[in-house]
Amino acid sequence: MATRVFISYRRDDSAGSAGRVHDRLERELGRDLLFMDVDAIPLGLNFVKVLRDEVAECDVLLAVIGPKWLDARDEHGNRRLDDPNDHLRIEIATALQRDIDVIPILVDGAKVPKADRLSEDLKELELRNGLEIRHASFDSDIDKLIQELKGPYDQAGVAPKSQRLTPLSSQTPGSVTIVERPTFRTYVVGSFAPRIKVFIDNKEVDRMKQGGTVVVPVKPGVHSMFLKLLWRTSNTLRFKLKPGQKRGFLATNTSSSGGLKIEPL
């Protein structure tokens, strides 16, 4: 299964390094598996809830830590990490509480902070094994990270033979039915309504009209699914399908600035 990665960083501490890491991972893993910038959160939404939801959907959180990470201050001179609503604290604390893999990415000579300098909800960060990424050896350092994120998968994205599923021909396929019930329709030009792309295991498998229905044959096993409509991506839903099983899912498109969602029927 593809690995979803959340990149946590502080702009005035490590924006350049975080950007380099993001660009390399995007080439290796694909844009749809990365979430990086709070600026991507649509206007008017509760950013705390969005951040927690996004972190909950990821498999790994990369905490990019530079020299100013620990003692960054706000406009009043207060340490940002002491603020419960600090976006970076929310991201990392949520991942730690959910037992999501948190990998400290150490840049510009930074070290993993000691627990006595961290709030209670961040103390466990000291125990997480980190990776130092240096400018002089960036490519080889990031290669180690990519291998770690791909886990048992080889560089071509194929699992070892011992971990591959039984060939499809020897299984009874099931099916997934997706019904879309919009309360808002997205139009581009005139009456043209773009189609919703359906992704299963990070591969586009079909497209459906807004307000339409699609049925997709899927082999038995555990899968992930998400939707895309223009610039928006839905939540990622993980589901299990037994041989011959048929499952239904409801997609909703509730506004122009957000609200694309998929859930079981």
Cα separation, 265 vs 258, whole angstroms: 21
Q: Give the tokens for residue 52.
A: 């927690």
Residue 157 within any structural domain of the chain: no
Same structural domain for residues 21 and 132? Answer: yes
Residue 230 within any structural domain of the chain: yes
Same structural domain for residues 111 and 218? Answer: no
Domain count along the chain: 2
**All residues at 6 or more sequence positions from 98 whose CB lies less than 8 Å from its CB, including other chains:** 55, 56
Same structural domain for residues 90 and 219? Answer: no
Same structural domain for residues 69 and 134? Answer: yes
The DSSP secondary-structure symbol of 73 reads B
Same structural domain for residues 172 and 146? Answer: no
- From 150, 177, 206, the end of a domain falls on 150
Digitized pLDDT (tens) for each residue of the chain, 265 residues in all: 457 899 999 998 998 999 999 999 988 888 778 888 655 566 677 778 878 888 887 889 999 999 999 999 999 999 999 999 999 999 999 999 988 889 999 999 999 999 999 999 999 999 998 999 999 999 999 999 998 887 644 444 444 433 333 333 335 677 888 887 755 454 433 334 567 889 999 888 888 877 788 888 888 888 999 998 877 888 999 988 888 888 999 888 766 555 788 888 8
Residue 67 within any structural domain of the chain: yes
For CA atoms 200, 201, 202, 203, the dihedral sign is negative
- CATH number at 260 reads 2.60.40.10
Same structural domain for residues 110 and 226? Answer: no
Asked if residues 1 and 224 have their Cβ atoms less than 8 Å apart, the reply is yes
- CATH number at 28 reads 3.40.50.10140
pLDDT at residue 230, as a whole number: 74
pLDDT at residue 115, as a whole number: 94
Cα separation, 86 vs 48, whole angstroms: 9
pLDDT at residue 242, as a whole number: 85
- From 150, 176, 196, the end of a domain falls on 150
Domain that holds residue 177: 168-264
